[in-house]
Amino acid sequence: MLVHETETAAAEPAVLPAEEIETAPTRRLGVFGWFSILWLGGLTLLALLAPILPLKDPDQTYLEIVRKPPIQPDHFLGGDGSGRDMLSRVIWGARTSLTISVSAVLLGLLVGGLLGLVAGYHRGKLDAALTTLFNVLLSIPALVLSLSLVAVFANSDESVSNGRKLTVLIAALAIVTVPILGRITRASALAWSEREFVKAAEVLGASHGRIMLREVLPNVAPAIMSIALLGVAVAIVAEGSLALLGVGVTEVASWGNMIALGRSDLARAPHIVAIPSIAIFCTVLALNYLGDVVRARFDVREAAL
């Protein structure tokens, strides 16, 4: 970025130690780190085990708890606008939201990561074409792009099934993550492809594919891991935004549609919006924090090389 002329001087290295710089992120996990892992781990567990947990039916309406705030007898987190059990819905919602975001990011990683790897490794015309593709995708703001895709493919008429909506949603979010993950992977692959051990593998007669997978990919992976974590957080929020705009999944509970549905009751029963909001907040916080920690840990390793 900045071209900086430095005249090499055989001089004394910086005598004064740097002032205390970074407050976060540290490489150590610390209290926040462990909380994050616990939260995410617990959440994933709950989401996976939802069908076998002793939860109320998330779609069953219980008239006695309509809009009742948390701590009701038998219904720990109260009821939503239609009288459905909030605790059960927030856990089933976690299942939906996490499925969508994690799938979207994994898909994006697969496609974007692969494309980025190829672009960074082969360079030349292929790289130029792929970079242009990334730039094109990036030139439409993410929300608008995913919104349009979902609108066109999953909302064009009334009869779209929920399964299809889910698929399109995941695909749309994945498409949005592809250019970001692709760019980062490409940058990393570019740097690593210059290293001697890659040239060595070439000389030994390894095929391009093999080199990319066995030599470059393992080194690129840590860099994109942190972005992937952040990506899941973004996808969760995106799912919420799309639900609020009326194009998310509708039949099953998700954190997004819980907020969308609870919006009209914001004055009377704010907990309907608050509970899924807090769930999103904690999850995003945890993911952001871990993403930072991962980045700090692997940035240093790269810098030391």
Partner 1 sequence: MTTYPSPSGATAEAPVGFRLSRRMPERLLEVSDLRTAFRTPGGLVRAVDGVSLTLDRGRTLGIVGESGSGKSVLARSIMGLLPKRNVERSGRIVYDGDDIAGLDRKRRRDLWGTELAMVFQDPMTALNPVQRIGAQITEGLRFHLDMDRQSSRENALALLRSVGIPEPERRMRQYPHELSGGMRQRIMIAVALACGPRLLFADEPTTALDVTVQAQILNLLASQQRERAMAMVLVTHDLGVVAGRTDDIAVMYAGQIVEQAPTSRLFGSVRMPYTEALLRSIPTLDQPRGRPLQAIPGRPPNLASPPKGCRFAARCPYAQDRCRKEAPPLVEDQPGHAYRCWYPLQPGAVSATAIGVN
Partner 2 sequence: MGLVRELGKRFLGLILVLFLVTLFTALLISMVPGDPVDTLLPVSDSSPEVAAQKEELRHELNLDDSLPERYAAWVNDFVHGDFGNYYRTSGADPVRAHLADALPVSLQLMIYSQILALLVAIPLGVISAYRAGTLFDKAANTTAFALLAVPNFVLGLALAYYVGVWLGWLPPSGYVPFGDDAVEHIRRMILPAVTLAAAQVAVYMRLLRSDMVQTLQEDFIQMARSKGISDQRVLWRHALRPSSLTLLTVAGLNVGTLIGGAVIVEVLFSIPGLGTSIAQAIFERQYVALQTFVAVLAILYVLVNFAVDVLYTVVDPRIRHARARN
Binding range to partner 2, per CB under 8 A, among 2-10, 44-52, 63-71, 97-105 = 2-10
Amino acid at 216: V
Nearer to partner 1, 19 or 196 (CB): 19
Longest dimension (CA), the chain: 81
d(CA 49, CA 2): 52
Report the DSSP beta bridge partners of residue 61: 84
28 forms part of the interface with partner 2 (CB under 8 A): no
End-to-end CA distance of the chain: 21
Spell out the residues 6+ positions from residue 204 whose beta carbon is closer than 8 angstroms to its own: none
Residues of the shown chain interacting with partner 1 in the complex, contacts defined by CB under 8 A: 5-7, 9-13, 15-17, 19-20
267 binds, among partner 1, partner 2, none (CB under 5 to 8 A by kind): partner 2
Least separation in angstroms between CB 11 and partner 1: 4
Least separation in angstroms between CB 229 and partner 2: 13
21 forms part of the interface with partner 2 (CB under 8 A): yes
d(CA 121, CA 215): 11
d(CA 93, CA 58): 9
218 binds, among partner 2, partner 1, none (CB under 5 to 8 A by kind): none
Residues 258-283 as b/e (b if ≥16 CB within 10 A, e otherwise) read bbbbbeebeeebebbbbbbbebbeeb
Task: Work out which of 107, 140, 225, 252 binds partner 2, going by CB under 8 A.
Answer: 140
Task: Work out which of 136, 200, 213, 300 binds partner 2, going by CB under 8 A.
Answer: 136
Nearer to partner 2, 36 or 219 (CB): 36
Nearer to partner 2, 3 or 204 (CB): 3
18 forms part of the interface with partner 2 (CB under 8 A): yes
187 forms part of the interface with partner 2 (CB under 8 A): no
Q: At CA 259, angle to CA 253 and CA 265, rounded to 5?
A: 115
d(CA 102, CA 53): 22
- What percent of the chain is helix, strand and coil (3-state, nearest 5)? 70, 0, 30
Binding range to partner 2, per CB under 8 A, among 51-59, 196-204, 217-225, 235-243 = 235-243
> Applying CB under 8 A, which residues contact partner 2?
1-4, 18-24, 132, 135-136, 139-144, 147-148, 151-153, 155-157, 233, 237, 240-241, 244-247, 259, 263, 266-267, 270, 273, 277, 280-282, 284-285, 288-289
